[in-house]
């Protein structure tokens, strides 16, 4: 149960770091920062395995959420600040779930993986016609 709690805390950290909606090398630095913060928090709360899970959750959460926020900010322009606020509230809910009902983090992790995979598949399908022209 403690390992699921560490994973949930790491995902919440990654979601908060992902609210910046960065892209390119800045996104890589934010993912690295989320992973390091997850490692430190996981190590302080639990053992080395907890640190690794929290770091991995932080990196995955930041990757998926920053892609989501960047895509929305590109479409909406300056109105994407509300999305960052909603994602921050969702991160607090994930943190509460991790602390109160750690087994439910499995559902959160599966939802995060599904969101990342569906966005990746949508991007591949969107640019498939351009690859044919090369």
- In the predicted structure, residue 116 carries a pLDDT above the cut 60: yes
Quote the number of domains for the chain.
1
**In the chain, pLDDT over 70 holds for what percent of residues?**
90
pLDDT of 128: 66
At 80, is the pLDDT very low, low, confident or very high (cuts 50, 70, 90)?
low
Inter-residue contact 22 to 66 (CB < 8 Å): yes
Distances (CA, A) of 24 to 3, 5, 119: 31, 30, 17
- Average of per-residue pLDDT across 37-57: 92
What residue spans of the chain are helical by DSSP H? Answer: 2-18, 25-45, 48-76, 81-100, 105-126, 128-132
Query: 48 is in which domain, residue-wise?
Result: 2-132
pLDDT of 125: 76
Inter-residue contact 112 to 18 (CB < 8 Å): no
Closest CA to 21 of 57, 62, 79: 62
């Amino acid at each position: 149960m403690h390992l699921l709690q560490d994973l949930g805390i790491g995902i919440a950290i990654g979601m908060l770091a992902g609210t910046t909606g960065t892209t390119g090398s800045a996104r890589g630095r934010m993912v690295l920062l989320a992973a390091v913060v997850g490692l430190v928090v996981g190590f302080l709360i639990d053992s080395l395995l907890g640190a690794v899970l929290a770091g991995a959750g932080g990196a995955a959460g930041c990757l998926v959420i920053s892609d989501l926020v960047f895509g929305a900010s590109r479409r909406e322009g300056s109105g994407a600040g509300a999305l960052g606020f909603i994602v921050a509230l969702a991160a607090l809910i994930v943190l509460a779930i991790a602390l109160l009902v750690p087994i439910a983090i499995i559902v959160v992790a599966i939802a995060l993986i599904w969101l990342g995979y569906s966005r990746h598949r949508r991007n591949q399908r969107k640019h498939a016609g351009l690859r044919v022209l090369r």
